[in-house]
Structure 1
Amino acid sequence: MAQSKPRKMKPSEIPDFVSEIIAAGCDITAIGHDKYVLGDIEEQDAALEDLDRIGDKFGERDHLKLQIVAYLWSIGRYIELEIEGTRH
């Protein structure tokens, strides 16, 4: 029996994905310009069922990592990393 391909999230779904993560109680945040986190461990543990449901709904999203990060920056949900040796 052939296995079906896992669902891949579409770029147009990024705002809804982020909104659902926030609604689940997680503080999704971009870290620098190439990473993001769903929230701290306690938030993720408390929202485990919701996060599983959201993951099933939107599917694979690794291919959209930089686009998700860019969206988080655009809505002010980011932590800017300081480059070692520079001061602002």
Structure 2
Amino acid sequence: MNTILRDRIAAGDDIEDDDETNEVETGQPAEMLGSVTPRREDEWLCEGCFLLVSKSQLGSRKEPRCPSGEEICPSLDRLGP
């Protein structure tokens, strides 16, 4: 058992810890991805799907649609009567 432990210690830490890396799913470091655009005045966070939504994404006023395709969309309530 001591021999195995010594061999592993001597081999070093070859396993990468996910917590130590600063990468996003793109494989690029987070610093390389650029900045996030601030929310505009006409955008809000949908309480149903948690997407950032604007009126232009809801379609026409006569036939509004949920941007994420949901049957019940809290964002449609913002359009009013």
TM-score, structure 2 normalization: 0.23
TM-score, structure 1 normalization: 0.22
Structure of higher CA gyration radius: 2
Higher relative contact order (CA 8 A, sep 6+): 1
Structure number with the higher helix fraction is: 1
